[in-house]
Copies of this chain bind each other. A is one copy, B any other.
Amino acid sequence: MGVVRKTKSVQTILEIFNQTEEAISVVELIERLKSQMNKTTIYRILERLEEDALLHSFLGHDGVKWYAKCHECSSHDHHDVHPHFQCVDCGKVDCVEIDVTIPKIPNRQVMNSNVLIRGRCEECV
């Protein structure tokens, strides 16, 4: 039970994510919305939207948190199993809809995995 009330701030953030297929970093979001809402509010709304599986989060190569729309996530089991791609040229980050299979590791139990790919996107290749 993340988002209970559809406030102006929640709607604003949801609209932003609905206008793009790309991921957005929290830093970027705070910068874009700094005249409209407090950074604490942004952190908390993103948290709630992730609880509701409308967004999912992951860490970029520099440890900054990114969020993107969820497509395949249910609210129960919503790990981002797909990899995330960061373009070294334009900086764009998005979800890649391919499966990366993690091989079995002897005597270990794999629970989930994060894959971050760096390279050049369609427009920069």
A residues with CB within 8 A of B:
59, 61, 63-65, 83, 85, 88, 96, 98-103, 105, 107-122, 125
Contacts and interface: CB of A to CB of B under 8 A. Distances in A.
Contacts of A120: 108-109, 111
B102 A109 contact: no
B112 A114 contact: no
Tell me if A's interface is mostly helix, strand, loop or mixed. loop
A76 B13 CA distance: 43
A10 B6 CA distance: 55
A110 B63 CA distance: 20
A100 B105 CA distance: 11
Q: Top 5 nearest A-B pairs by Cβ distance?
A: A63-B63, A111-B119, A109-B120, A110-B119, A113-B117
A5 B105 CA distance: 40
Contacts of A96: 105
Given A59-B61, A61-B59, A110 B117 contact: yes
Given A59-B63, A108-B85, A115 B115 contact: yes
A37 to B, nearest CB: 24
Nearest to A109: B120
